[in-house]
Amino acid sequence: MKTYKTFDTINKTFITILAFICTLPLLLVLIVSITDERSIQSKGYSFFPNQWSFDAYQLLFSGGSPLLQSYLISLTVTAVGTFLAVMITSMAGYTLAARHVRYRNGLAMFFFVTMVFNTGLVPWYMISTKLGLQNNIWALIIPSLVFNPFNLFLVRNYMKQIPESLIEAAKIDGANDAFIAFKIFFPLSLPVIATITLFYGIGYWNNWFNAIMLVDKPNLYPLQYLLFKLNSEISMIQQMQSSLSSMTTSQLPSESIKMATAIVTIGPIVLFYPFLQRYFIKGLLIGSVKE
Amino acid sequence: MNLSKISSTFKEIRKNYIAYSLALPAIIYTFIFGYLTLPYMLIAFQKFNYKLGIWKSPFVGFDNFKFFFMSDRAWQVTFNTIRLNFLFIVVGTAAALLLAILFNELKGRRFSRIMQSTILFPHFLSWVIISYVVYSFFATNYGLLNQTLSWLGLPQENWYSEPRYWVSILVTVNVWKEVGISLVIYLAAIAGIDSSLYEAATIDGANRWQQVRYLTLPLLMPTVIILSLLALGKIMYGSFDMIYAIIKDNGLLYPTVDVIDTYVFRSLRLIGNPAQAMAVGLYQSVVGFILVFGVNMIVRKVSPDNALF
């Protein structure tokens, strides 16, 4: 009995240390973002800087900074995209789950085939540009993001558990499929809808692939892509710096500003995290139960 | 016969037209971005010209494939892709299993939840964010690692120009980011094990380690095998986000970490040769499809419930 108790303590300590180590890399990014530039120059990135400074954040939120524009783009794209994606997916989910729809399995196959055979990057790029999905906000919303068959099957499997008799009863009362889907099925499927909202939302917020492929205009850069560019193109930082003339050159936070942008980008995820992880775990478990 | 079939199809669609139109946006999307992409695969056999399009560009047979397979790049990117993905699967699974067993021994549910959430967190971050984390450790001037090395009086290393380190770095980073997901899945699988088995084992005098060794691990194996097989099916794909965010266009590191996806991307967007990119993409799709298909056949034999199709 006693050995178990010792084991429990060791185990608990080990897991705590491990979880702490997992957060260390992000802690470093946070600390560098509030480190004074001179401290970075003398000591490098460090968990224990000589001097703290919020210059980077001040610069980021100043008038000429591209950050605000990118934030706006990311928020718009995430909100509009997630709404559309959830609608498209839930509506099709109803069709595939309703037993009175004769071709539901054929339709399921139609969607499934595209999950197994992927034609890859080039045709995707050609189609997107052909449809005019280039250098506009829709390029960040539609291609590859607005509908995902995996989520469709998640919704269908959940809706399949809803008794068919509900549809029949509603039909007798004169309701049509649209009414039944929106007023009966969707409210009963809220857990799975929350899950796919989360999947799509995270997908949109973290996406920079569409931007790198289809967008060249800086005023359309979503946050993630701005961040990507920031580390590869020094000119972007210089441009940001020139917008804030009150600082002398030696104070310009060119290192900490990168990390500050990263922190600002993580912000919403931290904010929603309690909600996020709850539905995420639920979704994983729904997804692993087939049929 | 045929006519009556068509008319019955027509009737069905008319009867349930509202239900079908609910699925219409998804159908249109899938038709365009799924099925309409198929003709574009022809580009792989053409000397493609944007002005002429896919129907008028001249055909060149297998020249694009020859160009790729004659160069040593073909072997290199294929090898890198498979090696990286294989290590992600093996190391990731081992780490997740170990964690799941340790977590399962925890008494407090609340404590377990909090620790799970902490370990899961990096999963929600984009690879661009992760690239900053990597940069803050390995940057040549200010990076934590080089600072520590010089503090210890050791020579600094130019990490971003040494390809030999990057396989281990990427594997570590990938495990750090994604282990939380597998942990949650394995914990759920353990929770699904019939508790009477453990009661019986306890009565028979099995200690905790023996219960792990002879009950938990063997009963987890089906889940482990299925998840690994499914991941194997995707071994030709993926990690563009990861590799391109962290490595960018740093050619010095290509020997170990340039993968098929990044190669295709460069051929298309930076070099501007869609035909070449499509040829490599087609090679990837076909091998990928064969793998998914083969793996699915194995899964169907081992555990029919988990098969994809």
A-chain CB neighbours of B54 within 8 Å are 126
Which stretches in chain B have pLDDT values below 70?
Answer: 1
The pLDDT value recorded for residue A247 is: 55
Question: A241 falls in which pLDDT band (50, 70, 90)?
Answer: low
Domain membership flag for residue A5: no
The pLDDT value recorded for residue A221 is: 95
Domain membership flag for residue A137: yes
The CATH code of the domain that includes A221 is: 1.10.3720.10
Of A45, A92, A262, the CB nearest to B144: A45
Residue numbers of the domain that contains A76 = 64-232
Report chain A's mean pLDDT, rounded to a whole number.
Answer: 88
Report chain B's mean pLDDT, rounded to a whole number.
Answer: 91
Is the pLDDT reported for residue A3 higher than 80? no
Question: A242 falls in which pLDDT band (50, 70, 90)?
Answer: low
In the block, residue with structure tokens 């001037």 = B141
Is the pLDDT reported for residue A173 higher than 70? yes
B-chain CB neighbours of A114 within 8 Å are 30, 33-35
Question: A266 falls in which pLDDT band (50, 70, 90)?
Answer: very high
Of B18, B147, B185, the CB nearest to A44: B147
Domain membership flag for residue A226: yes
The pLDDT value recorded for residue A2 is: 62
pLDDT (tens digit per residue) in A203-228: 999 999 999 999 999 999 999 999 99
pLDDT (tens digit per residue) in B42-66: 999 999 988 888 888 999 999 999 9
Question: A235 falls in which pLDDT band (50, 70, 90)?
Answer: low
A-chain CB neighbours of B40 within 8 Å are 119, 122-123, 126-127
Cα B274 to Cα B47, B49, B166, B279, distances in angstroms: 9, 9, 29, 9
B-chain CB neighbours of A92 within 8 Å are 22-23, 25-27
Domain membership flag for residue A266: no
Domain membership flag for residue A244: no
Looking at the DSSP bridge assignments, the partners of residue B59 are B46
Record: contact A273-B292, CB cut-off 8 A: no
ipTM of the complex: 0.90
CATH number of B72-306, picked from 1.10.1740.10, 1.10.3720.10, 2.70.50.60, 3.40.50.670: 1.10.3720.10
Q: Which residue of A has its CA nearest to B289?
A: A117
State how many domains chain A has.
Answer: 1
CB B289 within 8 A of CB A116: yes
Q: Which tokens sit at B231?
A: 């991941």
The pLDDT value recorded for residue B91 is: 97
Q: What is the pTM of this model?
A: 0.91
Is the pLDDT reported for residue A290 higher than 50? no
3-state secondary structure chain A: CHHHHHHHHHHHHHHHHHHHHHHHHHHHHHHHHCECHHHHHHHCCCCCCCCECCHHHHHHCCCCCHHHHHHHHHHHHHHHHHHHHHHHHHHHHHHHHCCCCCCHHHHHHHHHHHHHCCCCHHHHHHHHHHCCCCCCHHHHCCCCCCCCHHHHHHHHHHHCCCCHHHHHHHHHCCCCHHHHHHHHHHHHCHHHHHHHHHHHHHHHHHCCHHHHHHCCCHHHCCHHHHHHHHHHCHHHHHHHHHCCCCCCHHHCCCCHHHHHHHHHHHHHHHHHHHHHHHHHHHHHHHHHCCC
Q: Where are the domains of chain B?
A: 17-61, 72-306
CB B299 within 8 A of CB B65: no
- Residues of chain B with pLDDT > 90, as a percent, come to 68
